[in-house]
Structure 1
Amino acid sequence: MEPFIVSARKYRPQTFKDVVGQESITNTLTNAIENNHLAQALLFCGPRGVGKTTCARILAKKINEDGTQRPDEDFAFNIFELDAASNNSVDDIRSLIDQVRIPPQVGKYKVYIIDEVHMLSQSAFNAFLKTLEEPPKHAIFILATTEKHKIIPTILSRCQIFDFKRITVKDAANYLKYIAENQGIEADEDALHIIAQKADGAMRDALSIFDRVVSFSGKILTRKAVTENLNVLDYDTYFSATDLILKHDIPSLLLLLNKTLALGFDGHHFINGLASHFRDLMVCKHQGTIELLEVGETAKQQYLEQSKKTSTSFLLEALEKANDCDLNYKTSKNQRLLVELTLMKLASIDFEGEKKNPESIALANQTTNFIAPASFFKNEDTSQATVRNSELVSRRSELLKQKISEQETTVPASGNEPSVAVAEPIIETMVGSSDPVDTTTVANAKRINIKIPSKRVSGLSISSLKAKKEHQLNKKEEVLDENNLPKTSFTEEEMQRHWYDFVKQIDAKGQKILASNLSTDTPKVLKDQTIWIELPNGTMKKEVEREQFGLLAYLRSKLNNHFIDLKITVNEETAKKFAFTPEEKYEKLREKNPAIDLLRQEFDLDL
């Protein structure tokens, strides 16, 4: 039985062309070698598993090739690797410096690869400075690290820095596909994309995951097998969740969450995946951003189909709610309830779009339908009806506002045109009939279609100002007949009883301050049917004056007297009795109990 070699070692790149996802760096190094423009101190930094050490070995082999060596020559005697994680002392660096002085026996250069260089101690860094700045002509140093910020600036300034980037999901999936074909493994494209996403930009991790999944599923690699082995949620879970949200099916959505939690996933993982799913749907809304979707072709088609069912406003609101749940998850005392509440909110979003302003109907190029009595057509000829219709159009805004306030049921219009219902009092006013509109007249009414122009008119235009002026001239002011208003006499006891009933009502509604102010003094009745209350300060007076209209309306209704008035005064003597400063409070206490002064002197107290 042959020993198994992991894919990360078996398929380690041997040339710069084989390196995945680092084209800019490999091209730079290749050109530097060809043009003899290579620095003697290089720093390779970036995340784990992106090819730093691999590129260092390829570079060490490349600079020693002269065309006469064997194809399998690896120049092992010219390459020295030092693991700074375990060899980080000053003595280790001094030993390295002693070796640097000796020229190579084979090849042109000695290459010293120091991995995890950020682990060197401060004294080791200082011992390395001089040699790094002025190394022998035959020596090249390649430092590799995942944490560049831990390296002292004096080292950084002496090196040529190459920043390795994370390997994209697409590049990693393509390389995994190449390896699967070499090994004769049938792999779904979606399965390889899931492995690449799980690797999080590290090619070595992707190859390790690939080996593990192949050991689990054999020669056929399916998306289901990958999700089961890696314990990740499949795309189908989020597609189903989004479909249930769009259907407002809260019970099924909660059952789906319960099923997911039963598989061993936590709520945080589920809500994060759902937020990423909404992000992918948003990416599919525009043709130019589809390339940001890092999934296989089969999954991409599913995303495109589901994105057509969702609106941009829905996705924005859904992303905001999911992100809020993510931020609050760790601090929540009941984390499952938080996720369930978020899902219920998501399923309650009206994703059909924002509610339009009802008044915008009056400005649209639409037909407004309303019912007019039959007598309107009997008494007027065609020309009179045309004039009257134009007058009705000019008052469409008032008509719609009154319709909204009264919440009338919409009258169905003929055809596909929207309609606006008009209440019976409006019919009477608009038509100009003095007779009341009975149910028979409404039942036998005819329908008028008035075309409303879509052109908007500025509120500051001359025509609008003229129309406003004419409206003010034609407007009839309502004059109240004081002789017909109630003026029933009442006693002080009756007034006080209704007064305190009002106080109880507002106190129950939560208006505690107003209830307290009205209970400060007992109200009295003056000769001219005026109720008088005396308050201790001006602040309370202002509070009562601000809310007096509701009080007067209540008392006038209960006492059947429209001429009741309220008089509020401030008792200056009472106001002066209040102690506002600590000194005044202390003087007040000393007046009541002189012994408090002895207490202060005994314990040497201060105010």
Structure 2
Amino acid sequence: MAENYRALTRKYRPQSFDDIVSQDHVSSTLKNAIKQNRISHAYMFSGPRGVGKTTMARVLARTINQIDNSVDGESLNQTLNIVEIDAASNNKVEDVHQLRETVRIPPQNGRYKVFIIDEVHMLSKQAFNALLKTLEEPPSYAIFIFATTEPHKVLPTILSRVQRFDFKRISVDEIVQRLKSICVDEDITIDDESLHVIAKKADGALRDALGLMDQAIAFCGTTIKHEELLQALNVVGHDQLFEYTDAIQKQDSNTGLDLIDRLIKNGVDIQEFLVSLTEHLRNLYVAHQSDKMYLVEATEETKEKYRESAKQFSDEELIRMLHLVSEAQVKIKDVQQPRIHFEILMLKLIHMGRTKEINQLISGLEQLKKNGSNQIESEPSVQKSTDSDSKKNSPAKSEPTPAAALDDSSEKENKQSRPSPEPENNRSSKTSENSGSMPDFEQAPHPAGTETSTMVEEKPEEVKAEDPDEDFLTIKPSLGFVKGISSSNGQEKSKGAKHNDKKAEAPKPNQRIKSLDDIEACWKEFLNNVKENAPQMLYFQILRLKLKELKGTTLIVSVDNEFATNLVEENQQMLSSIFKKMSGTFIRFSCRVEQAEGKKKESISPYERFKEIQKEDPNLKKIVNLFGAELEY
């Protein structure tokens, strides 16, 4: 049996026009030309490999010379009327000269003398030019048939002298049907899924499909199973592709990495797998449009799997996956570690954000924008240095000023510690020791850049109050309120009481600013002017200022970072001119960097602050994880 064995590609080579698969447009034209006796002197058959170009030429030569079917197609070359020439090895001018001499000899036992030149595009330019005259005006019995896979390499002068027929690729279904008939003749048992694997692997070439079938029979025997076929041909099966996309859908990186490891160990070529994966994702997209399943080349069972799997993805997700896979397919050819890049592709597809999540994040961003704008609008115009000003007493009692309350507390403490009251100037002097140096508004203004006094920090034992109405004294008072205590007289106490009975009115233009209360009264109007006339960044920093003390024409304010200090100093002239235009008084701003109690820590870097913001806002954290956002500063 081994002596008589012939490969399927040779054994099942077509002998007639009806045996040729999927080239009906060429077969019908040639048969009609023979019937009408309108045979041309030169033909050119072009198309992909393995689609029947040379076979069609032999069938045409057999038919016009009426050669019996008992003569094999490969034996036609042994007859005197049919000459086959391989242009790949006979591409010189001398070979064409020999061909011209052969053309002069008429046929011995037939009507036509046929010259089949295979791979004609391999002829040199000089050989083509030597053939031109004979091709244009051949003897009446001479017929030239050229076959080529690259017609664009043939000279236009040659193309203009022939009838050209373009052969098309053979579809998967047509190859499957041809293989089924051969399997019946050869008594081979094989399932439809395996036949589709062979047909798709052949890539439109029936000759390649017959060669793969020969290989499968040699490996599996007369009974071919799907798993054994995949192993024999080393091709990627649908099960592996569906397993790949299932891992992506479930976002299971462990399963995905295990699958890649098995593929590599089984010797699957990464480039070939990416080609199959691209087609697989394309089929999923087509399956998402249920009325276009005819575009998917697979069995009905596999098409049903595509329909079920496509429901897990949206069109947008499939398009994004197609883009990533096709991009990796191009880049992976040039990388030094293709497996690592293959795994990176898998992780990208697994951790890729889903459409629903992205829509939710977009909605969260819109809500975040609204909340951010509302927060800026609702931010208070003045931030006090202490929280005692925001607390309210009961309506039955009048609200004392911090200065008056502090003085009363001092009196109570002195009474508890001594049996007899002390003079007022002694109480004031003790309070002055706890409060630091007091501002004197009658003094000359400090020169620009003069360092101001340090903040007052009361000790816990000095601020404890027995009266429940005085619980706000536990909070550190600002110098702006301690200024009401003086050793000279009690006039400052009456001023504090008057401040609580009636709110201070904003000073009119050209009215001199005399106290911190005057600053507070016109501060809101000042902020509005800054918002209209100053940069937005400066306005936001001014909003965060805390008023501390007024020394002459120098307003001491506290800030929580050095950036605000530098910004205020750089725009000192602008702020002073805005305040003077509004109130008629020239005020110079002096900043002091302070940290609130309970928050005394070193200033964090912008990167650490960005991480804290992510912890506070889950939507922002999802965006950073999804798109890999990084802070640039």
Q: TM-score, normalised by structure 1?
A: 0.62
Q: Report the CA distance between 1:54 and its aligned residue.
A: 0.4
CA distance in 2, matches of 1:239, 1:111: 52
- Are residues 153 and 405 of structure 1, via their aligned partners in 2, closer, same or farther at CA, if it must alter by over 3 Å? same
CA contact (8 A) 1:111 1:142 kept: yes
2:371 to 372, 388, 405: 405
Per-residue CA deviation, residues 308-339 of structure 1 (Å, 9 max, x unaligned), is: 33322221222122223223323445433322
| Correspondence list, 1:572-591, <5 A | none
Q: Which runs of 5 or more residues in structure 2 are unaligned?
A: 390-437, 440-445, 456-513, 520-533, 549-555, 574-633
CA distance in 1, matches of 2:452, 2:55: 95
Q: Report the CA distance between 1:180 and its aligned residue.
A: 0.6
Letter in 2 for 1:312: D
CA distance in 2, matches of 1:83, 1:274: 39
Structure 1 window deviating more from structure 2 (267-276 vs 151-160): it is 267-276
The equivalent residue for 1:115 is: 118
CA contact (8 A) 2:383 2:546 kept: no
CA distance in 2, matches of 1:197, 1:89: 38
The equivalent residue for 1:298 is: 301
The equivalent residue for 2:53 is: 52
Q: Report the CA distance between 1:284 and its aligned residue.
A: 1.4
Q: Does 1:170 align with 2:173?
A: yes
CA contact (8 A) 1:313 1:351 kept: no
Secondary structure, aligned partner of 1:114: strand
CA contact (8 A) 2:382 2:543 kept: no
CA distance in 2, matches of 1:6, 1:317: 45
Secondary structure, aligned partner of 1:353: helix
Per-residue CA deviation, residues 44-80 of structure 1 (Å, 9 max, x unaligned), is: 1112211111000100111123xxx755367733211
| Alignment RMSD | 4.0
Q: Does 1:279 align with 2:250?
A: no
CA distance in 2, matches of 1:5, 1:568: 95
The equivalent residue for 1:136 is: 139
The equivalent residue for 2:25 is: 24
Q: Does 1:77 align with 2:80?
A: yes
Q: Report the CA distance between 1:171 and its aligned residue.
A: 1.4
CA contact (8 A) 2:47 2:168 kept: yes
1:106 to 106, 109, 113: 109
CA distance in 1, matches of 2:293, 2:383: 77
| Correspondence list, 1:587-602, <5 A | none
Q: TM-score, normalised by structure 2?
A: 0.59
1:186 to 171, 189, 194: 189
Q: Does 1:213 align with 2:213?
A: no
1:548 to 516, 538, 552: 538
CA distance in 2, matches of 1:480, 1:45: 82
CA distance in 2, matches of 1:138, 1:318: 60
Letter in 2 for 1:31: N
The equivalent residue for 1:126 is: 129
The equivalent residue for 1:97 is: 100
CA distance in 2, matches of 1:251, 1:18: 51
- Are residues 288 and 78 of structure 1, via their aligned partners in 2, closer, same or farther at CA, if it must alter by over 3 Å? farther
Per-residue CA deviation, residues 565-584 of structure 1 (Å, 9 max, x unaligned), is: 655499xxxxxxxxxxxxxx
CA distance in 1, matches of 2:195, 2:379: 83
CA contact (8 A) 1:41 1:158 kept: yes
Q: Report the CA distance between 1:299 and its aligned residue.
A: 2.2
- Are residues 231 and 497 of structure 1, via their aligned partners in 2, closer, same or farther at CA, if it must alter by over 3 Å? farther
Secondary structure, aligned partner of 1:85: coil
CA distance in 2, matches of 1:557, 1:267: 68
- Are residues 478 and 136 of structure 1, via their aligned partners in 2, closer, same or farther at CA, if it must alter by over 3 Å? closer
CA distance in 2, matches of 1:145, 1:279: 32
- Are residues 184 and 550 of structure 1, via their aligned partners in 2, closer, same or farther at CA, if it must alter by over 3 Å? same
| Correspondence list, 1:143-542, <5 A | 143-351=146-354, 353=356, 355-356=358-359, 405=371, 492=449
Secondary structure, aligned partner of 2:14: coil
Q: Report the CA distance between 1:18 and its aligned residue.
A: 0.6
- Are residues 495 and 38 of structure 1, via their aligned partners in 2, closer, same or farther at CA, if it must alter by over 3 Å? farther
Q: Report the CA distance between 1:547 and its aligned residue.
A: 4.2
Aligned residue pairs total 420
CA distance in 2, matches of 1:78, 1:566: 104
CA contact (8 A) 1:52 1:144 kept: yes
Q: Report the CA distance between 1:301 and its aligned residue.
A: 2.6
Q: Report the CA distance between 1:169 and its aligned residue.
A: 1.7
Letter in 2 for 1:77: L
CA contact (8 A) 2:13 2:55 kept: yes
CA distance in 2, matches of 1:28, 1:205: 26
Per-residue CA deviation, residues 110-134 of structure 1 (Å, 9 max, x unaligned), is: 1110111112122211111001001
- Are residues 314 and 138 of structure 1, via their aligned partners in 2, closer, same or farther at CA, if it must alter by over 3 Å? same
CA contact (8 A) 1:246 1:351 kept: no
CA contact (8 A) 1:495 1:555 kept: no
Tell me which structure has the larger Cα radius of gyration. Answer: 2
- Are residues 359 and 270 of structure 1, via their aligned partners in 2, closer, same or farther at CA, if it must alter by over 3 Å? closer
- Are residues 153 and 483 of structure 1, via their aligned partners in 2, closer, same or farther at CA, if it must alter by over 3 Å? closer
CA distance in 2, matches of 1:70, 1:402: 85
CA contact (8 A) 2:383 2:545 kept: no
- Are residues 223 and 493 of structure 1, via their aligned partners in 2, closer, same or farther at CA, if it must alter by over 3 Å? farther
Secondary structure, aligned partner of 1:226: helix
Per-residue CA deviation, residues 526-559 of structure 1 (Å, 9 max, x unaligned), is: x9999xxxxxxxxxxxxx9574345545655896
Secondary structure, aligned partner of 1:80: strand
CA distance in 1, matches of 2:24, 2:454: 90
Secondary structure, aligned partner of 1:161: strand
Q: Report the CA distance between 1:233 and its aligned residue.
A: 1.8
Identical residues among aligned pairs (%): 40
CA distance in 1, matches of 2:140, 2:383: 116
Q: Does 1:10 align with 2:11?
A: yes
CA contact (8 A) 2:86 2:119 kept: yes
The equivalent residue for 2:465 is: none
- Are residues 9 and 497 of structure 1, via their aligned partners in 2, closer, same or farther at CA, if it must alter by over 3 Å? farther
Q: Which runs of 5 or more residues in structure 1 are unaligned?
A: 362-399, 407-424, 426-476, 499-526, 531-543, 571-607
CA contact (8 A) 2:384 2:547 kept: no
Structure 1 window deviating more from structure 2 (76-85 vs 296-305): it is 296-305
Q: Report the CA distance between 1:484 and its aligned residue.
A: 7.7
CA contact (8 A) 1:313 1:353 kept: no
Secondary structure, aligned partner of 2:144: strand
Per-residue CA deviation, residues 12-46 of structure 1 (Å, 9 max, x unaligned), is: 00111111121111111112211222211111111
CA contact (8 A) 1:275 1:323 kept: yes
CA contact (8 A) 1:190 1:297 kept: no
- Are residues 49 and 126 of structure 1, via their aligned partners in 2, closer, same or farther at CA, if it must alter by over 3 Å? same
Per-residue CA deviation, residues 238-291 of structure 1 (Å, 9 max, x unaligned), is: 111111211111111111111211212244333333222111111212234211
CA distance in 2, matches of 1:157, 1:333: 48
CA distance in 2, matches of 1:494, 1:265: 77
- Are residues 60 and 478 of structure 1, via their aligned partners in 2, closer, same or farther at CA, if it must alter by over 3 Å? closer
- Are residues 142 and 266 of structure 1, via their aligned partners in 2, closer, same or farther at CA, if it must alter by over 3 Å? closer
Letter in 1 for 2:63: K
Secondary structure, aligned partner of 2:288: coil
